[in-house]
Structure formats: structure tokens, C-alpha cells
Amino acid sequence: MRIGIIGAMDEEIALCKEAMGEVTTSVKAGITYYSGQLEGKPVVLCKSGVGKVNAAVTTQILIDQFQVEQVIFTGVAGAIHPDLQIGDIVVSTDCLQHDMDATPLGFAPGQIPFSEQWIWQADPQLVKRAVEAGRKLDGEIRVVTGRILSGDQFVASREKVAKLHEQFAAHCTEMEGAAVGQVCAMNGIPFVIVRSMSDKADGSAHVNFVEFTKLAAQRSFEIVRHMLAAEEAEVIVYSTKNCIDCNMVKQWLTERGVKFEVRDVMTSRAWQEEVERFGFMGVPVTVKGEKAVKGFQPSELERLLES
Ligand code: SAH
């Protein structure tokens, strides 16, 4: 699976590029794309430039011309949530354009006129992987999930921060994420935005931004690196917390030293739908590749593992 990695500025892609080692370079629409490997995974890296239009164009090119199947944005942002400190990391649950404003026509703040959708959901599995990757960072660094706002504005006022927090219940604000999210959603490509706080989007933002961008960018990159390094388990067990058969399956796999990923269907509709796609209504469902076994059935599980 090829993964697209986007940053808006040099600082945001520098470490990634360095870690990729040898790359193939190509230029499209004035943007340079670096194809290569990161942590053994095929990736295409680019610097989109600042703002939503740049972000949208590069995302579409990554999808069309480089056939990426997932997109990760790594970069810095201004904190909106009062609990967030400079250096903390926000992994997007969803994102929207805070500067999309057709309220005089009766549309909601942020709503794209005549469109039912204007809030873009990040892929739950990528979010989970980013949060897990965050646990591998220095314990001092806080990693939270939340809403990310994007606008073609560098936000640097306490009043604006208070308004954005009140209007959108957001965690942070930046200038690209929602464009990446929208383009990915329009193409059915999973995405996640990982942002480390370079400033608090207040009166000191312009000073803090310059001072902390390098450190903050480094932190988001570390998450991306750990996300890619995390071994993807070959076997997935769709389950719920208190189901006896689910626990039997997990125990059975553990005894055989099989690495597996647990997906609690109560926490994600997407995972519930994945189970349904295999033609099952309940759990446990154990999946390897395209094959699935329902329930705790050791001989069938044995055959699944051999497949
Ligand atoms: N490189 C230019 C412009 C940076 S614009 C300079 O040095 O001045 C700010 C970039 O950081 C954008 O890519 C945006 O996504 C992010 N960002 C960080 N803090 C922000 C804030 N308070 N408001 C908006 N974007 C912010």
C-alpha cells in the first residue's frame, strides 16, 4: 500500500525526506514529489505549500498520479483548546474549513453551500495508529484526538481563538488539513492529520510560531514514523469486550504466538460494516486476507492461519 505524506513547509517535510534516503523526484504543477520508502513502506512525500488550494491540488495529484491509498498530513498548528500547550499533538478526529462562511444566506458556519457534507472524518484506523504511535514518544508529550480547523488565515488573536472554540468545539487551527480531508473524502481515500502545536493562535503566535515550528514539526514527524514502523498484523479479530467466544479466539491465537489486531466493533461503525461485508452479523470474526471465520472454531481457525 502506497502512502502519501504531505507537509506544508520545509520544516514539516525535512526530517521525513532525510529518513527516506534515496528517492525518485518528479515535479507536477510546480510541486516536487519524492517517491521512496519510509520504515520499509512505500511512500510519496511532498511539500504542498501553505493554504487550502495548495493542499487540495497536491492531494489530488498524490491520488491520481501516484496512486496513494492513504494520506497522512504532518505539521504544526495553533492551539485552540485551552488545555493545549505548545508541543502537544492533535490527531484529527475530523476537520472543516472555519473560513467557509455563507451565513448571510442561512448556511451554518463552515458549511459548504448546497452541500450536506462539510465536516471530513479522518479514518478511525489511521487515528488509532497515530495515537498508538504517540504513546511511543517521550511521556511528557501529550497526544490528544480532536477537531482540526483549516482556513486561509494565520490566526493570531485571543478573541478569534475564543470564537473558533465556541463555534466549532475545535482543538487547533491551521491552513491545510480540511482541504486534504475533503479531497480524500471525494476520492474515497482514508486520511489523518497529525499536528503539533507551534503556538496558541494568540497575540504571541507570530513569535512562538518562529520559535517552536522546528520542534513541533519534529514531533509530528516522529508520530508518522512510528505509525509506519508499527507492524500491521496479518490477522484481525473483530470482537466486543465482554464476549466469551471473542476472548477464546484471542486466547487461542495468543497461545499459538499469532500476532493479531483487535477491532472492537462497538467503538466503530466502519468495523461493524467490515464484519457485515464478510456476510456475518455477530462477533467474533477472525480475518486473514480475504478469508474470515465466524465464532470460536479451532479447526477452521487452523485452516485460516495456514491459508
Ligand atoms: N512560512 C511562512 C508562513 C507560515 S503560515 C512563515 O514563516 O511565516 C503557518 C503555517 O503553519 C501553515 O501551514 C499552517 O497550517 C500552520 N499554522 C501554525 N500556526 C498557525 C496559526 N496560528 N494559524 C494558522 N495556521 C497555523
pLDDT band at 138; cut points 50, 70, 90: confident
Residue 51 Cα distances to 48, 155, 251, angstroms: 8, 13, 49
User: Does 140 score more than 90 pLDDT?
Assistant: no
Backbone angles phi, psi at 228, to 5 degrees: -75, -35
User: Annotated catalytic residue: which of 11, 123, 174, 199?
Assistant: 199
The verdict on 128 and 34 lying in the same domain is yes
Note whether 85 and 191 are same-domain residues.
yes
Instruction: Assess whether 155 and 210 both reside in one domain.
Output: yes
- 11 Cβ below 6 A of ligand 1: no
Check residue 231 and give its pLDDT: 65
CATH of the domain at 299: 3.40.30.10
DSSP class per residue in 6-28: EESSHHHHHHHHHHH-S-EEEEE
Assign 199 to helix, strand or coil: strand
Count of the separate structural domains present in the chain: 2
Q: Whose CA is nearest to atom 4 of ligand 1?
A: 50
Predicted TM-score (pTM) of this structure: 0.80
| Confidence category of residue 139, pLDDT binned at 50, 70, 90 | confident
Residue with the bigger pLDDT between 234 and 151: it is 151
Instruction: Please state the rounded mean pLDDT for residues 21-49.
Output: 96
Q: Which of 229, 255, 280 is the C-terminal boundary of a domain?
A: 229
Domain termination residue (choose one: 208, 229, 250) = 229
How many whole angstroms from 278 Cα to the centroid of ligand 1?
44
Q: pLDDT tens, 7-25?
A: 999 999 999 999 998 999 9
Q: What pLDDT, on the 0 to 100 scale, is given for residue 135?
A: 85
**116 and 167: one domain?**
yes
Sign of CA dihedral 263, 269, 274, 275: positive
* CATH for 76: 3.40.50.1580
pLDDT, one tens digit per residue, over 190-244 is: 999 999 999 999 999 999 999 999 999 999 999 999 999 886 678 999 999 889 9
Letter string b/e over residues 178-205, b meaning 16 or more CB atoms within 10 A of that residue's CB: bbbbbbbbeeebbbbbbbbbbbbbbeeb
The confidence score (pLDDT) of residue 289 equals: 85
What's the pLDDT at 218? 93
pLDDT band at residue 60 under the 50/70/90 scheme: very high
What residues make up the domain containing 72? 3-229
**Closest C-alpha to ligand 1, atom 1:** 9
Q: Could you tell me if 255 and 181 lie in one domain?
A: no
Distance 252 CA to ligand 1 centre (A): 50
Asked if 53 contacts 86 with a C-beta cutoff of 8 angstroms, the reply is no
Bridge partners, residue 70, by sequence: 3
Strands (E), 127-231: 143-150, 172-174, 191-199
Any ligand 1 atom below 6 A from CB of 202: no
199 a catalytic residue: yes
pLDDT number for residue 8: 98
- Cα 155 to middle of ligand 1, angstroms: 8
- Asked whether 155 lines ligand 1 (CB < 6 A), one says yes
Judge if 31 and 166 occupy the same domain.
yes
For residue 8, give the ligand 1 atom closest to its CA. 13
Q: What pLDDT does 261 receive?
A: 87
Say if residue 262 is in the same domain as residue 279: yes
**Given the C-alpha cell 514539526, which residue does it identify?**
217
For residue 82, what is its C-alpha cell?
A: 485551552
154 C-alpha vs ligand 1 centroid, how far in Å?
A: 6
Q: What whole-number distance in Å separates Cα of residue 79 and Cα of residue 255?
A: 45
| Confidence band of 259 (pLDDT split at 50, 70, 90) | confident
